[in-house]
Chain A
Amino acid sequence: MSVTPRPIAAFAIANALGMNEAEVVTALREGRSGLGPSPIALPFETAVGALPGELPELPPELAGWSTRAARIAFHLISQLEEPLARLRARYRPERIAILLGTSTAGAEATEEAYQHYLAQGSLPPEYDVFRHHTYGAVLSVVRALTGAEGPAWMISTACTSSAKPLASAQRLMDADVIDAAIVGGIDTLCTMTLRGFHSLDALSTQICRPFSAERDGLNIGEAGALLLLARDGDGVALLEAVGESSDAYHISAPHPQGLGAKLAMERALAQAGCGPSDVDHVNAHGTGTRLNDTAEANAIFELFGPEIPVVSTKGYTGHTLGAAGGTEAVFSILPFREGWIPASIGAAPVDEAIRVNVPTERTTGRFRRVLSNSFAFGGNNVSVLVRSV
């Protein structure tokens, strides 16, 4: 069943490469990683992707909701004031949805509050789980800042969290219950995530090197990406299709042949009514772990063959977890305008077991359709297909 492509009216982005689109694009063009030392004290070595600038404080009326995630949301929404105003002028507030993804929400605030609890026997007086921890807390802030009054939910499917809202928005538009949606996601650095991935032996002690023969794990990053999706009108790109699947194999390991990953990509292509040869580039999930990169490359090879350029951007930003899908949906849109795809930094020498074309230099060309992969714990797989206008 083909679905109606929907215009992506605008986007805003912040991650280790920069606090806005211009800074991010410059770093990608120059092949410059944003990964560096962790601002969070850790009993081990690893690089992380921290935001390189200060975040604004929330407006006074929302000060009681302040968390790092909420401030990232505010920072991004501030960059979208004009396109948001245009959406509000065209559509009724109750027809504008807020569909976001995160894996952490306010976890860093809860970590701080819990340390206070352990030290003093009570939570800090200003801490409120429904203002500082839950998914709904961030949604409340976004609703207040944007005036969107439609359905609002946070998807939390680990590393696919912010890719799936694009599909949710598409479905609600097709069901004619909304006209526009603020989609994407936000994730912040926190101790639990860093210590948790360390417990799995999944972290690299260096800057990660997806698809390289010498890769030894991933880096965690924080990020936010918001995209404005509309029923119709002008856009910087079209959201064409979103394929979703489950591995049904293991809670934390990918299927070795990437069967679930392949299924998600196939479903995206089927939904768009196109074939593998119609896709010009794959933005890979490409975390830098041995198992994940091999499984994904197998799936891409099986579907697309060896020629299509496959780039991982995790070497620039780290794995931004719940923000990765939204962040990399934006990375997939950029080649339409820029006419290049970034180098898959750190990949050289590419692992011989990786049978796809991983460019280690920036590649220029005409890009009309790009597929972006996100895979997660729970065997959750999402492939987002975007097209130039």
Chain B
Amino acid sequence: MSGTMEAAVVGLGLFVPGHPTLAHFSTEPADEAARIPAGAFLDPRTRRRASVVTRALADVYGEALSQSGLDPRDVASVFGSALGEASTMISILDQIFREHGPVSPMKFVTSVHNTAAGLVSIASKNQGFATSIGADYDTPAMALAEGLGLVVARGMPSIVVAGEEPSPEGLIPDESTWGLFAGAVALAPVERAPKEAMRVRAFVSGEPTIAPSETSPALSRSPVTGILDLVVALSRRETGRLRLDRGQGRGFVVELIDPTHG
């Protein structure tokens, strides 16, 4: 891609098993009681039916939103995941092909890739833009591109979320499995954000200068590890170029800019 898009970063969110928030991840040891996302942002009626990835996506969305000052009833949202509700899909496959029984209607309606987008919009009474995308290992980069497109072309703040549930048992070779996590970045037009807000510019050329964050092998193999690297680097106010796919995608690179540095 030639041509770039730039926005201010006005909120961040992260869920890693043992760390329910970005602040916890940055400062605290892992909490065994927080290995499953609470789904606290979701409507209580739907929370218990939501998959772990939907809960994680909702929680990081809520964390980024709470820092951003953006209007929860209006802000656009972009949810990225390579496999989405894969465990729900597998449980439907089991109902059909293993149990030879009926499909659960609730499982079916929550098997769609935009389950998290829909439940978050319901929870926040948000009648604005919501979308859900996938692009394998480029999912974080492409979700960011969609979010930046909203900011740059339409002046619409957006919250870009990416996450993946643990790799579905049986579908992924043992040596390639990954674990659950999700991250979120709230974006706003530069001119409407605090002057000190970090900025992200996508996409740029050149070799990366920011090293990926230190993660367990299981997290580093996830198709969406790029969002973890992005959230961690932004939270540390690192500057330079960051690749968003850990070498397994098409190599999209973003530039992180700290406007307080000259």
Instruction: List the interface of chain A (C-beta within 8 A of B).
Output: 1, 3, 92, 94-95, 103, 107, 110-111, 114-115, 117-118, 123, 129-130, 133-137, 139-140, 150-158, 164, 168, 170-172, 174-178, 191-192, 195-200, 244-252, 259-260, 263, 376-380
Contacts of A129 in B (CB 8 A): 83, 171-172
CA distance A174 to B150 in the complex (A): 10
Given known pairs A174-B153, A191-B96, A248-B126, the reply for A379 and B146 (CB within 8 Å) is no
Q: Are A151 and B114 in contact (CB under 8 A)?
A: no
Q: Are B149 and A168 in contact (CB under 8 A)?
A: yes
Report the interface size for chain B: residues with CB under 8 A from the other chain: 65
CA distance A92 to B2 in the complex (A): 9
Contact of B122 among A103, A133, A135, A249 (CB under 8 A): A249
Contact of B129 among A137, A140, A245, A379 (CB under 8 A): A245
Question: Is B87 at the interface (CB under 8 A from chain A)?
Answer: no
CB nearest to A143 among chain B residues:
B250
User: Besides A196-B92, A251-B109, 13 other CB < 8 A contacts?
Assistant: A110-B171, A123-B170, A135-B133, A153-B142, A157-B117, A196-B108, A200-B109, A249-B122, A251-B115, A377-B115, A378-B114, A379-B121, A380-B131
Q: Are A200 and B92 in contact (CB under 8 A)?
A: no
Q: Are B136 and A94 in contact (CB under 8 A)?
A: no
Question: Is B110 at the interface (CB under 8 A from chain A)?
Answer: yes
Q: Are A178 and B1 in contact (CB under 8 A)?
A: yes
CA distance A154 to B223 in the complex (A): 15
Contacts of B139 in A (CB 8 A): 136, 153
Given known pairs A95-B2, A134-B134, A192-B92, the reply for A380 and B125 (CB within 8 Å) is no
Contacts of A378 in B (CB 8 A): 112, 114-115, 117-119, 121, 130, 132
Q: Are B115 and A177 in contact (CB under 8 A)?
A: no
Q: How far is the CB of B6 from chain A (nearest CB, A)?
A: 10
Chain B 63-98 interface residues, beta-carbon cutoff 8 Å to A: 82-84, 89-90, 92-93, 96-98
Number of A-B contacts (CB under 8 A): 210
Q: Are B93 and A260 in contact (CB under 8 A)?
A: no
Q: Are B148 and A175 in contact (CB under 8 A)?
A: yes
Q: Are B104 and A251 in contact (CB under 8 A)?
A: no
Given known pairs A136-B138, A248-B124, the reply for A199 and B146 (CB within 8 Å) is no
Given known pairs A115-B97, A199-B108, the reply for A192 and B122 (CB within 8 Å) is no
Q: Are A114 and B92 in contact (CB under 8 A)?
A: no
CB nearest to A135 among chain B residues:
B134
Q: How far is the CB of A352 from chain B (nearest CB, A)?
A: 30
CA distance A151 to B122 in the complex (A): 30
CA distance A380 to B155 in the complex (A): 21
Q: Are A135 and B135 in contact (CB under 8 A)?
A: yes
CA distance A177 to B134 in the complex (A): 20
Q: How far is the CB of B35 from chain A (nearest CB, A)?
A: 25
CA distance A195 to B93 in the complex (A): 10
Contact of A175 among B102, B117, B152 (CB under 8 A): B152
Q: How far is the CB of A146 from chain B (nearest CB, A)?
A: 15
Q: Are A377 and B114 in contact (CB under 8 A)?
A: yes
Contacts of B171 in A (CB 8 A): 110, 123, 129, 133
Q: Are B1 and A379 in contact (CB under 8 A)?
A: no
Contact of A171 among B102, B112, B150 (CB under 8 A): B150
Q: How far is the CB of A345 from chain B (nearest CB, A)?
A: 28
In the A-B complex, the 10 residue pairs with the closest CB atoms: A378-B118, A136-B136, A196-B108, A156-B113, A135-B134, A171-B149, A153-B142, A174-B153, A177-B3, A171-B153
